Structure 1
Amino acid sequence: MGKTNKDNSYLKSPDLLPISYNHRKIGIMGFFAMWIGMAILLATFDIGASGVQSISLPWVVLATLIGCVAVGGFISLVGDIGVEHGLSFPVYMRAPFGIVGTHIPSLARAITASFWFGLNTYFGSTAINSIIHTFNSGFDNWLVCYIVFALVQLINTASGIKWVERFADFAAPIIIILSLVIYHTLTTDIAAQGGDVWAWAASPVTGGAAVTAFMVVIFANMGFWATLGCDIPTISRFFKAPKHERNWFKRNRTNLIGSLIAMPLTETFMIMIGAAALMVAGSSNPVLALQETASGWMLAILLLMIVLTQWSTNTAANIVPAAAIFSNVLGPRVSNVVAVFIVGIVGTIIQPWSVYEILTQALLFFGAVLSAISGILVVDYYMLRKRRVNVQELYQHEGQFKFHGGVNIVGFIAWVIGGAVAILFLDYSFIVGFVIAGLIYYLLSKYWYFNKFPQAEIEDPSDEKYLGITVGRDWVIEEDSENDQEEVVR
């Protein structure tokens, strides 16, 4: 039976088609700057504040570096999907979950990203409110600030990925300078009171309790970026990469430098600010700490950094990926611009600021659910398909990825079991979910499911047919004609 335009239209939303080589505009410095903006946010400070409740800051810093480098490696692995084939996260998820099944795990990621958008916008709005209140004591309305700040971020993102990168390039150096000033301001105040942030712990623990506290910091950092670890292809499909490059490290250089250098160093410094803020104000929120240590123009300038960091984080790490997912779920009638504003609405309705006090536990829970998806993606892409993807079939309603009524049941079995076990071991959720879900998916797919539903790229692992930029190919998805014209690869 022919494949009709009606059947396939919802799979071929223009915003979800593979990105061609000539449209990949983000280079090493661009992604480096994006990571600086993404890693500096108030929620990061909470990890530092939580960590120094039990162990000293040097151990918290070491745990943060370990966790960030580890999750940065996972992000780089998954990112090759976007670099190699130009595919976004929700489109590739049609392979391990099916053309219909992709919507459920994708929505889990989109709602999580919307949660972060709402939380970061709330933090930014409180900083904006404080800036205005500093010069106009009669103004105190964070909700108005929230609405305006949310609209500005959404318009910036709806203008396109290049505008997201441009804002990151503009904001990154300002953020770095102001972060140094904030850290100096807080630690100077601590020193004046005879304290030392590097030698202090609120309620120090030893032995096994110290080891557990150390591990919690590692996996909290990993859980923090489990969201981006899943859907980094939505961003990495815009990365510049050389054609005909078979060396994985050279092909993924943009991602590697950003995820293994920029992110760990930036996040570690934010952990230090969170610890200092706790000593000064009894809270990880530096807005409160700065209000106790600075005033006037100095306070306004420092609070401006808080605003810029929330903005740069939201556009790249939350709005762009979530909008791609909503566009995929709701079909071609919902453009990327409309999907961007849906992210803002969902993130506001959730009211995530109400759970800030238990944020570390929330991070571990998110890590449990989403790390299982990351494990499935890595196994499906590297171990089973060996980076070869039958991309044309990802856009076909009656094609290879239809499985059982559009659902790959093995993906869901692995996700549910892996995520559930990870939740039981919440302190180590990321690695538990990643390993268990990936192992289950590999065994069931290789020895059962893919025998029932043969996968062309596994049966015939041809580079020329199923690799992308490595063989110099741009994947082109043709519109279906009335005569059921077959799609071609250029």
Structure 2
Amino acid sequence: MESKGNYLKSPDLLPVTHAKRVISPFGFSVIWVGMAIVLAAFAIGGGGIVHLPLPYVILATLVGSVAIGIFMTLIGDIGVEHGISFPVYMRAPFGTIGTHFPSVMRAFTAACWFGINSYFGSTAINGILNLLFGFDNWILCFIIFVTLQLINTSLGIKSIERFADLAAPIIILISCWMYITLADNATAQGKDVWSWVESPVTGAAGFTAFMIVVMANMGFWATLAADMPSLSRFFKAPKNERNWFKRNKTQLLGSLVVMPITNTFMVAIGAICYMAVSTADPITALQSSANGIVLGVLLLMIVLAQWSTNTSANVIPAATVFSNVGGPKVPFWVGVIITGIIGTIVQPWSLFDILNSVLLIIGGILTAIVGILFADYYLIRKRRVNVDALYELEGQFKYFKGFNFAGLIAWAIGGGVANMFPTYSSLIGFFLGAAVYYVLAKYWWFVKYPQKEINNPSDELYLGITAGNDWEIDKKVYQEPEPNLESETLDPPVVQKQ
């Protein structure tokens, strides 16, 4: 008999039924535009243009974006098919307790992005104050801006959220203006934007530079590749549709068309930004390209855009994880403070300058998780999942005291080896993580801990909408569980955005 405190059955973690799936292909495309309009992507373009001309930077970005988009779509089928989120399915390859480890990694990454976005916002605030009063102390602006965002999130203040829907179009307009202005500036300096390179390389060195841009783009979106089921469970999809492509048409349009185009646009702006002002920092570029009231308005829009997206996309997901890891002694507001501390001590003002190198590391670690999910879902379970057991404290996914060591070992090996070869980190992480997990799970772990859907691969019992099933989990045993690190909202869609 399960305890009445079974946190695995928290209402926000239950499967989304077919009737509640409201996001259409067009709707997801709009969401992707909002997610992919990220100023931090400028760093990839700025790093790439050092050794490669703009056409190669664009090509590498498209290759990396489509590759990670394929990973997203493959893993997103978990949400489409079964209506379950990333942390819930992770109980299968990692165990009911082991699922916490990748969630903490995701939270740490969100805290780092919070720091980077806060850095942009603080330098914009500093620029505004410098225009108005001659004030110049961006560090003080950073401390104040971080504090205001944390207070905003801790107290649940909603007033600033009215700007959230404006964030993406604001940055699109700013980016278009920057492209035109900065391209003119570069041309005025005698630089052809389509052929200029700071330190051109060829041969093997050129291929390495190309692959670094590819891997940086994959690392940039690796978190969402793993976390896509948390969003895709809200996608409209036809019941009893066995064709994988027709079932996932919402994902295919958004992740393989809209995201690559939008992401490539942002990276290209970063490259041209570097050409014109020798840095990919968007605030520095604005300050060197505009002045007076125009500059003040542009900087203010940057501040509002960073604030509106940072709160919901980075602070809340990270704080929720940290709060739940600590249990009842760590309330949500403490999780918010922890997020702020991490976002500050990683020194985001320095992190932006080495972002490409950091993304190679992140890509290897997170795509190893994606590879494990792929192997578990497609190769071992063949898309059939004992969903009821995912919500049982003493069910088949408890494994050894809540841990699936096949998943943990595969993650350690996949992520570790990937970072020995950073030029190919995301690809190595995915394929090695998948291969190691497949061998360990199939020939060792699941021999010790039999899985019903593997031993009896019944479509009727273990497929979701492909077989016309909606998973209904018995909620009677649930009573205000203590916080757990897998909590997330069922209000579609809160997405972790960089």
Q: TM class, shorter-chain normalised?
A: 0.7 to 0.9
Please give the residue correspondences for 1:19-168 in structure 2 after superposition, counting only pairs within 5 Å: 19-138=16-135, 140=137, 141-142=140-141, 143-149=143-149, 151-152=151-152
Q: Give a deviation string over 1:190-214, Cα, whole Å, max 9, x none.
A: 2222222221111111111111101
Equivalent position of 2:439 in the other structure: 443
Tell me which residue corresponds to 2:460. 464
Instruction: Give the stretch that moved more between structures: 197-206 or 143-152.
Output: 143-152
> Are the equivalent residues in 1 in contact too, given 2:43–2:355 (CA < 8 A)?
yes
Q: Which amino acid aligns with 1:442?
A: Y
Number of the residue aligned with 1:197: 193
The range that moved more, 418-427 or 334-343, is: 334-343
Q: Is the Cα–Cα contact under 8 Å of residues 84 and 469 in structure 1 kept in the other structure?
A: yes
Q: Could you tell me which residue of structure 2 aligns to residue 175 of structure 1?
A: 171
Counterparts of 1:77 and 1:315, CA distance in 2: 29
Cα distance in structure 2, aligned partners of 1:134 and 1:105? 44
**Do the aligned residues in 2 keep the contact of 1:323 with 1:339 (CA within 8 Å)?**
yes
1:269 shift after superposition? 1.2
| Partner of residue 370 from structure 2, selected from 364, 369, 374 | 374
**1:319-345: CA deviation from partner (whole Å, max 9, x where unpaired):** 565456456645689898986776455
Write the letter of the residue equivalent to 1:435.
F
Cα distance per residue 1:132-172 (max 9 Å; x no partner): 4333434754222333345557788x97xxx98x9665433
Amino acid at match of 2:54: L
The match for 2:483 is none
Query: Which residue number in structure 2 is paired with residue 3 of structure 1?
Result: 2
The AA in structure 1 aligned to 2:32 is: W
More moved, 320-329 vs 59-68: 320-329
The yes-or-no answer on 1:392 pairing with 2:391 is: no
Q: Partners in 2 of 1:195 and 1:382 — Cα distance?
A: 49
Runs of 5+ consecutive residues of structure 1 not aligned to the other structure:
483-490
CA distance in 1 between counterparts of 2:279 and 2:392 reads: 52
**Aligned-residue offset at 1:396:** 1.3
Tell me the TM-score normalised to structure 2 length.
Answer: 0.86
8 A contact 2:107–2:318 mirrored in 1: yes
**What is the one-letter code of the residue matched to 1:358?**
I
| Mean Cα deviation higher: 44-53 or 28-37 | 28-37
State how far apart, in whole Å, the 1-side matches of 2:232 and 2:293 are: 39
CA distance in 2, matches of 1:258, 1:303: 30
The verdict on how the C-alpha distance between 1:349 and 1:449 changes in structure 2, with shifts beyond 3 A counting, is same
- Greater CA drift, 235-244 or 210-219: 235-244
RMSD between aligned alpha carbons? 2.9
AA aligned to 1:187 is: A
Structure 1 pair 21–337 and aligned structure 2 pair: CA distance change class (3 A): farther
Change (3 A) 1:177 1:354: closer
Match of 1:290 in 2: 286
Identical pairs, percent: 55
Partner amino acid, structure 1, of 2:382: K
| Distance (Å, rounded) in 2 between the aligned partners of 1:65 and 1:296 | 37
Q: What is the identity, as a one-letter code, of the residue corresponding to 2:172?
A: I
Task: Tell whether the 8 Å contact from 2:118 to 2:145 is kept in structure 1 after alignment.
Answer: no
Are the counterparts in 2 of residues 11 and 328 from structure 1 also a CA contact under 8 Å?
Answer: no
Instruction: Supply the distance in 2 between the matched residues of 1:241 and 1:167 (Cα, whole angstroms).
Output: 31
Helix, strand or coil for the counterpart of 1:442?
helix
- Change in Cα spacing, 1:325 to 1:247, as seen in structure 2 (3 Å) is farther
CA distance in 1, matches of 2:194, 2:131: 31
- 1:258-277, Cα deviation, whole Å (9 max, x unpaired): 21122111111111211122
User: CA separation in 2, counterparts of 1:37 and 1:439?
Assistant: 34
TM-score by length of 1: 0.88
Give the direction of change, closer, same or farther, for the CA distance of 1:337–1:466 in structure 2 (3 Å limit): farther
User: Relative to structure 1, is the Cα distance of residues 167 and 374 closer, same or farther in structure 2, using a 3 angstrom cutoff?
Assistant: farther
Give distance in 2, aligned partners of 1:280 and 1:91.
Answer: 47
| Cα distance change, pair 16–403 in 1 and its aligned pair in 2 (3 A) | same
Where does 1:208-219 land on structure 2 (aligned, <5 Å)? 208-219=204-215
Separation (CA, whole Å) in 1 of partners of 2:242 and 2:337: 39
Cα displacement (A) at 1:185: 1.2
Match of 1:12 among 9, 13, 18: 9
Contact 1:38–1:312 (Cα < 8 Å) also in 2: no
**Secondary structure of 1:198 counterpart:** coil
Correspondence list, 1:259-274, <5 A: 259-274=255-270
